[in-house]
Amino acid sequence: MSSQTRALIDKLERQHELSPDEWERLISARTPALANELFARARRVRDAAYGRDVFVRGLIEISSYCKNDCLYCGIRRSNREASRYRLTDEEILACCETGYNLGFRTFVLQGGEDGAFGDERLAPLVSRIREAHPDCAITLSLGERSRASYKRLREAGADRYLLRHETADAAHYASLHPAPLSHEARLSCLHDLRDLGYQVGSGFMVGSPGQTARHLAADMTILKGLNPHMVGIGPFIPHRHTPCAESPAGTLELSLFMLGCLRLMLPHALLPATTALGTLTPEGRHLGLDAGANVLMPNLSPIECRGAYNLYDGKASTGLEGAEGIAGLKAQLESWGYRLKVDRGDSLVR
Ligand code: 5AD
């Protein structure tokens, strides 16, 4: 391992920041030995902030309809092969109830940008979940909305919002997200969310089509400035019915390396070992935790819908990915030296 790249990791651990050039050098010069050194430090930093607790969030995929046409995503509007579903309010409330009884204290309502979930429907739904479960955190992950909408949902009782910035480079963003989507609009949503008092999650895909080390350097720099409460990253995985079907998947190796880097840059952030990581390989989530992650998001969606929420091919959704497997998950985590935490698990980022 060259002493120069090692010095970059030292600097990252000490100062929690690198310049874009330094990021690019570190990412380009990474080796397996350097990665192991990074992961050991990332675990120490995570343990100092959060101990060995792993926070779980119950993920409810409320709609697979989407008005957007992101080139990589399996539920893009143009994918005529996608099977579409939309949960009813009663089904969503029932998922929360099931999750609550399994011990979950955070619900994440995630979905495509579906016009059927306008504020007039969503705000009362959020209020009903809030009333039914005053001790739970309500997280929304429903894409770009107006500031007024985010405000109304916040007032209805939503605490957190997940919106990945996807890629920090405007041209790269444009190459993956057809108009009217834009990098500027995405960032302005993220700033609105923070301003309105949400705990915010952002993130990006690793190995998305056309991504270079320079782009990843920009992703790290933008996240440093945003200082989100949570950062979700996972490998890009091609979906056969999208224009990116032939693009190679992001690698486990680079995804884990970026996770370790994120932990050193943002010691107090919540970092999920994502479903995409678990889809690449069955050990993905364990390796993610050992690279510095501390959150898992098991799937609470009705089992019969899970196959339809198909962002990428082979998406893991049952077994330990499913919320019903929580007892098995707890045992699995313990065997890895972690402790399952079901409480709200608020981020230490302020
Ligand atoms: N591979 C991996 N992740 C994907 N996402 C969408 N499509 C894919 C894919 N093909 C991610 C995006 C989005 C999140 C919900 O899923 O980053 O923000």
pLDDT digits (tens, 9 = 90+) for 50-65: 999 999 999 999 999 9
Pocket test for ligand 1, best of 61, 63, 72 (most atoms within 8 A of CB): 72
Would you state the pLDDT for residue 1? 54
237 DSSP 8-state letter: -
Those residues with Cβ within 8 angstroms of residue 70's Cβ, 6 or more apart along the chain or in another chain: 76, 176, 177, 178, 181
d(CA 227, CA 223): 6
Ligand 1 environment, Cβ below 6 A: 72-73, 164, 166, 205, 234, 236-237, 239, 276, 311-312
Residue 227 has pLDDT above 90, yes or no: yes
Distance 205 CA to ligand 1 centre (A): 7
Residue 107 has pLDDT above 90, yes or no: yes
pLDDT band of residue 325 (cuts 50, 70, 90) is confident
- Residue ranges per structural domain of the chain: 23-341
């949503």: which residue's tokens? 189
Would you state the pLDDT for residue 317? 80
d(CA 18, CA 241): 38
Those residues with Cβ within 8 angstroms of residue 293's Cβ, 6 or more apart along the chain or in another chain: 46, 259, 263, 271, 272, 273, 285
User: What is the residue-wise DSSP string for 150-215?
Assistant: HHHHHHHT--EEE---B-S-HHHHHHHS-TT--HHHHHHHHHHHHHTT-EEEEEEEET-TT--HHH
Distance 7 CA to ligand 1 centre (A): 33
The domain 23-341 belongs to what CATH superfamily?
A: Aldolase class I (3.20.20.70)
């970026």: which residue's tokens? 258
